[in-house]
Amino acid sequence: MSASRESAERVIGRALPRLEDPRFIRGRARYVDDIDLPHTLHAAVLRSPYAHARLVNLDARAARRAPGVAAVFTCADIAGCAAPIPIRLCPDPALQAFLQYPLARERVRYVGEPVALVVAESRACAEDALTSIEVDYDPLPVAADAEASAPPALFEAAPDNVASQLVEAFGDVERAFAEAHHVVRTRFRVARHTAVPVETRGLLAHYDPASERLQVWGPTKVTHFNRTVLAGMLRLPEHRVHLIAPDVGGGFGVRGEFYPEDLLVPFAALRLGRPVKWIEDRLEHLVATNHSRQQIYDLELALATDGRFLGLRARLVNDMGAYLRTHGTIVPGLSAGMLPGPYRWPSYRCEVRCVLTNKTPTGTYRAPGRFEANAARERLIDLAAAELGLDRAAVRATNLIPPDAFPYRTGTHILGEEVVYDSGDYPHALERALALCGWRERPSAGEGRYRTGMGLAAFVEKTGTGPFEGARVSIDGSGHVLVSTGAASVGQGLETCLAQIAADALDADASRVSVRHGDTDLIPYGVGSFASRATVMAGSAVYEACRDLREKLLTVAARMLEAPPETLLFTGSGVRARGGGEYTLAEIAAQAGPAGPAAPDDPGLETVRYFRTQGMAYSHGVVVAEVRVDARTGRVTPRRIWVVYDVGTAVNPRMVAGQVEGGVAQGIGGALLEEFHYDGEGQLLSGSLMEYLLPTATDVPRITLERLERSPSPLNPLGLKGAGEIGIAGVGGAIANAVADALGPAGARVNELPVTPERVWRWLAPEEQSAA
């Protein structure tokens, strides 16, 4: 059954203004702290001041007597539901010993670990009462260095603090290195970062005795997973737990965890019979919300005389922090699986050590594992080109996977499945980037104080992580299209994207489509928004649901118009017959109900579909950076960034460009500014935005983008690939290579991110420091 549309213009591919923006611009967005319930109590968390210590005694009697305090909860008080927080993706029983409990038991293992929860009539009362809790700590030796030879053990199950070891390998790597004409080696470090969304974490929980349901509001991107975990820990049936993600002020990785507070606040609301709210302050955010990155690579590249890659060998140490949280060892696994990048490798071996230290636990941050791996690999390739006397771009062009090799089986694995690149034209992206930036006409670095350099980095970015996502689509009595999904919005434009897909599939106006999300009552099953999956997975589910709904719509309209379905035309607001006669969507919806004379066998205009993917969709691109280095001060100033990228079908090109530009800005932060510093006692030395530096508008140069649509994914009906992380994926490598280019011979020493002034000064030889 099919019908034509009157207008040939598709809604997919149009740069429509974001439909959700008016409420944000007018101040009508509703974040968790905007939600007020009568008689709400407020919570504050007592956190450990020690990186490693035994909990000898905790006395909360004075705090419980403090003015305005409703309750104080310790580990003993929540013993009935104090199971460790489980891993979300790829759980491994071998990691069970390293999971975190909601409140510390017997021992604290990082500064900021929750020790107790105070609930009071106001936040001020709760924070005042924290000072009345007396805790007797017995300090223990601290493991602050992931490469220490004999560190103090955090857990009996791992005397050497190695929680897990991973290996990714294919081909005969030993033979490749034995027969190689050249072997290039380097060590590359990426510092510890965190995402810093404008909105910190927060929760509001309320138990309604009338419905016997627990309602929880909070800025999460995995509502269904968090509901399952919370219900299990509280020993409640899932249908009695309702999770809602209101408007969210940014995500970038930190919204995908189940944190200790995600249990503590609902537990307190259940126990006290009153709503409980907790809003994290920025100091808490920097010490308690997950960190990320902090990897050390030892890399070896085997090459032929013409620059062909023969083998890649890597040893990776990932500082995991004190516990394995919701993401387990996913980040180092992503690094090992994606380190080969867009190149052909006859052989490869990567050995990974996941090491526990007395620091804040790590998790994901935009392009987790790939920002780091791309930077390390691309830096290594530049070193190889220099040693062989070859052009850096030419070496990459020689080794890129050709277009006729897709689908390309890399031989590596991530998230439990083989990495198979679905489609791409990597050489074309490189050529376009070189042409766009004028690579072949670039000036020399120069000498003296101010030096200019250019660097490039190619990348592949995994998107569309499965296994499924769901969508419910209906047309109500007013003719509006209602879309509900298990995905969630964290500011990426989800509502606009899904509205455009639904409007395109139904030949409707996007302004008449309403998208609802982030609510476990909307749809029975959902996975969430992470890993650049929402457009690919939720978008495909919406498209398939709309195609089913379109068939139902045609069935009803054909009966009403007494015309064959194939003769009908969609008008944008309804359906008309070629021979005359027309009904609006509202009129058709009215006839589709159980009492309607034209109702289908399954009454109503509503469908539910779950889209399951057969593999991930891989976006790709090339980043070129131009920087100026002040050799006297070591300051690096980005001057231009160029990004050529292919995301398959771009649903809304303007939003895709916004995602890329935002990712570039964050990548500049990671490449030049952002770094957590700890001392030898595990104390965080950069625990405020005075020390943890973020890029501002003055740090972001002119960004030039070129979007390619040469490689739609064959794995979903619209050819979609994700765009949320492609902007950041290659920036670190491009900037590191640009700095190395600017420094001339001293550039061979560039082996660390961020590229801070102190490091630039250290990399310069003494005679160059004097000359500057």
Sign (positive/negative) of CA torsion 216, 217, 219, 220?
positive
- Are the beta carbons of 721 and 617 closer than 8 angstroms? yes
Mean pLDDT by 10 residues, the chain (772 residues): 63 96 95 98 99 98 98 94 87 93 97 99 98 98 96 97 98 98 98 97 97 97 96 97 96 94 98 98 97 99 98 99 96 98 99 99 97 99 97 98 98 95 99 97 82 98 96 95 96 96 94 96 95 96 97 93 90 88 93 84 92 97 98 96 98 98 98 98 97 97 97 98 97 98 95 98 76 60
SS3 531: coil
Residue type, 664: V
Cα 396 to chain center, whole Å?
A: 27
Domains of the chain, CATH where assigned: 4-30+466-612 (3.30.365.10), 32-141+200-248+254-288 (3.90.1170.50), 292-464+615-771 (3.30.365.10)
Q: H-helix or E-strand containing 71?
A: strand 69-73
- Are the beta carbons of 168 and 345 closer than 8 angstroms? no
When computed from its CA atoms, the radius of gyration of the chain, rounded to whole angstroms, is 28
pLDDT in tens, 381-405: 999 999 999 999 999 999 999 999 9
- Are the beta carbons of 665 and 700 closer than 8 angstroms? yes
Residue type, 496: T
d(CA 445, CA 738): 10
Q: What is the pLDDT of residue 2?
A: 60
Q: What is the pLDDT of residue 221?
A: 92
Length of the chain: 772
604-629 per-residue burial string, b: 16 or more CB within 10 A, e: under 16: bbbbbbbbebebbbbbbbbbbbbbbb
- Are the beta carbons of 642 and 438 closer than 8 angstroms? no
Identify the burial level of 727 via C-beta atoms within 10 angstroms of its C-beta, where 0-12 means exposed, 13-18 middle and 19 or more buried.
buried
- Are the beta carbons of 347 and 176 closer than 8 angstroms? yes
- And the tokens for 465? 């992580």
Nearest of 319, 339, 338 to residue 329 by alpha carbon: 319
Q: pTM here?
A: 0.96
Q: What is the pLDDT of residue 600?
A: 81
d(CA 409, CA 273): 55
Residues 6 or more apart in contact with residue 424 via CB below 8 angstroms: 342, 401, 403, 406, 408, 460, 618, 620, 646, 711
What angle (nearest 5°) sits at the alpha carbon of residue 395, between those of residues 463 and 751? 75
- Are the beta carbons of 114 and 47 closer than 8 angstroms? yes
- And the tokens for 471? 């969508």
β-pairing verdict for 53-59 and 292-303: unpaired
Nearest of 566, 602, 570 to residue 583 by alpha carbon: 570
Q: What is the pLDDT of residue 573?
A: 86
Q: What is the pLDDT of residue 770?
A: 58
Q: Write phi, then psi, for 378 (nearest 5 degrees).
A: -70, -30
Cα 300 to chain center, whole Å?
A: 29
Q: What is the pLDDT of residue 351?
A: 99
Measuring CA to CA, how many Å separate 526 from each of 240, 246, 387, 469, 474?
17, 16, 51, 6, 18
pLDDT in tens, 205-230: 999 999 999 999 999 999 999 999 99
d(CA 290, CA 254): 6
Q: What is the pLDDT of residue 8?
A: 55
Q: Percent of the chain at pLDDT above 90?
A: 90
d(CA 614, CA 612): 7
Measuring CA to CA, how many Å separate 524 from each of 94, 182, 258, 517?
31, 57, 20, 12
- Are the beta carbons of 623 and 436 closer than 8 angstroms? no
d(CA 32, CA 245): 8
DSSP summary character for residue 13: T
d(CA 487, CA 197): 19
Measuring CA to CA, how many Å separate 396 from each of 221, 344, 742?
37, 10, 20
DSSP summary character for residue 153: P
Q: What is the pLDDT of residue 446?
A: 73
Residue type, 707: R
pLDDT in tens, 451-467: 999 999 999 999 999 99
d(CA 609, CA 620): 29
Nearest of 314, 316, 320, 317 to residue 292 by alpha carbon: 320
- And the tokens for 432? 């376009």
